[in-house]
Amino acid sequence: MTVRSAIVALFIAFVPFFVFANGQKSDSEVWNDGVAYYEAGDVTNALRVLRPLMLSRTHGARAAEVVAALAHAKGDRDEAAAASQIALRANPTDAKANRNFTRAIDGLASERENKRIEAILKAAEGKDPAAMLRTAVYESRELIREAAGYRTNVAERAVALSDSLSKRAQSIADVWYPVREVIARSVTNETQAANIISQVEQATEKTKKAAKDFSDLSVEAYSSISEAEYDFTRFFKLTALPPAAIEEALLSQSNAYLDVESINGRSWQNDSLDYTRAFRAKFPAWAREWEARAQSDTNLPPFTAEDQAKVSALATEVEKLQLECCEKNLPPMQLRACELLDEIRSLLPKDKNGGGGNSGNSSQQGKESSKSENNESSSKDNKDESSQQDRQREQEEAPPEEEEKEGKQADSEPSAEEKEIDALFRKAQERNDEHEAEKKKRMRKAPLPPNERDW
C-alpha cells in the first residue's frame, strides 16, 4: 500500500468520528430520520435525507434500497436504477438486490430513447421538415469533407475532433424523427406509408452509425456519413416545395457549368435535373394552392394563369436541355439552363411571411409596387397643374446623336437578371477556388515520398 492510499484509508476511517465530534448527526441518526419520514408518508423529505446516506459504509446499502423503492414508486426510473446499482454493489450475491436492479433497468434504455424522441418532436413543432432536411444535406456534406482527414491528426486533437463530429452527426440523425411523423400523417396508403417509413428508419440507423463511427475513430466513418448524405439528399428531393427545388436546381446547374468537383460520387448536372423534375412534378398543385390562398390573403401576390403557363413551359425547356447535358458536357447549354432557371425563380410569387420558401425579395417588391401605386395616384392629382409643362417638354426633341448615344449606353449595360446570374457564377467560382485551395493545402501537408525533396 502506498503512502497516499494509506492516508486516504485513514481519512475515510476517521470521517464518522470527525463528523460526530463536530456536532453533526451520525449515519444511524440520519437513517432513523429518513425512516421516520418514510413511515410518515413524507416521500420528499425521506429522499432528501436518505440520498446522501447511500455512500455510507454502514447504512449505504439499506439507504440505497429504500431510495430505489421510493424513486420507482414516483416513476423516476433513472434514480431507481442508480440506487439499485449501489445496493447491488454492496451485496453482489444478494438475490433481492439482483431482482430489484433487474426490475429497475428493464426497458430503461428504450424509455430514455422515447423521452428523447418526444423532446425532439416537441422542439420541431411548426418547423418545415423539408427545410430541416435541406440543412441536414449541407451539414452531412460538410461532415464528408471533414471525415476525409480527421483521423490523421495527433491523438488529442483527433479525439476532440471525433467527438465533435459524432455530436454533429447525431444532431442531423434527429432530423429523421419529425420527417417520419410528417410522412406517416401525409400518406394515406398504408402499404406505401409502411414502405417509406421503413426507408426512413433505415436512413436513421445509417446516420446513427455514422455518429458512432466518428466517436470510435473508425475508418468506416467516411463511408457511413456518405450513405447518410445520399439519404438526406434523396428525401429532400422528394419533400422540397417548388421554390426550394428551383433554388437547388439553379445552384447545382451553376456548379455543373463551372465544372465544380462532384459531391459524393454524383454529378451536379444529374442533381440539377432531379431538382428540376421535382419542381415540375409539384408545381401544378403548388400553383393552384397558392392561387387559392391569394384569393383570401391580401398579403400574397397573385399568380396569374399566364405566369403559371410560362413557368411550366420554361421548366419543360430546362429539363430538355439538362437531359442533353447529362449525356454530353455542353457548357453553352448549361449556361442557357442557368438563365432559364433564374427566370423561373423570378416569376415565382414571393410570400412576405416566408411561406413560399423563397427569399425576402417579395417584401421589397411589394414595397416597390406600393410606391409605384402611390406615385400614380399623386401624378393623377397633379395632372392638371403640370399639363402645361408636359406640353412644353413634348415639343422639345433631343438631338439624334444624343439619342443614339443613349441607346448604345443602354444596350451596353447588362440587365438586372444578367447581373444576378453573374453574381451567382462568381459565388460558385469562389466556392470552387476555396475547394481547390483547401485540396492543395491538404496535399502540401501530406508527407513527401523519400525520393522527393520539398525544395
Looking at residue 270, its pLDDT comes to: 95
Q: Tell me if the pTM is above 0.85.
A: no
Domain ranges of the chain: 24-106, 127-238, 240-367+423-439
Q: How confident is the model at residue 224 (pLDDT cuts 50, 70, 90)?
A: very high
Tell me which amino acid residue 418 is: E
What is the mean predicted confidence (pLDDT) over 133-157? Answer: 88
331: CB partners within 8 A, 6+ apart: 257
pLDDT score, position 399: 44
Burial status of residue 424 (CB atoms within 10 A of its CB: 0-12, 13-18, 19 or more): middle
Give backbone dihedrals phi and psi of 126, rounded to 5 degrees, phi first.
85, -5
Which ranges constitute the DSSP H helices of 348-415?
A: 361-381, 383-395, 400-412
Give the separation between CA 244 and CA 303, rounded to whole angstroms.
Answer: 17
Q: Which of 97-101, 155-159, 230-234 has the lowest mean pLDDT?
A: 155-159
Strand partners, 266: 263
Check whether 107 has a pLDDT greater than 90: no
Out of 3.40.50.10540, 1.25.40.10, 3.40.1160.10, 1.10.150.20, which CATH number does the structure's domain 24-106 have? 1.25.40.10
Per-residue pLDDT at 193:
82
Sort 68 into a burial class: Cβ within 10 Å, 0-12 / 13-18 / 19+: buried
Say which DSSP state 330 is in: -
Query: How is 142-177 classified by DSSP, letter by letter?
Result: HHHHHHTTGGGS-HHHHHHHHHHHHHHHHHHHTTHH
CB 196 within 8 A of CB 174: no
pLDDT score of 321 more than 90: yes
C-alpha distances (whole Å) from 9 to each of 12, 25, 324 are 5, 22, 81
Query: Tens of pLDDT along 181-215?
Result: 887 777 777 888 888 889 999 999 999 999 999 99
- The C-alpha angle with vertex 326 and arms to 320 and 330, in degrees rounded to 5, equals 85
Output the average pLDDT for the chain: 79
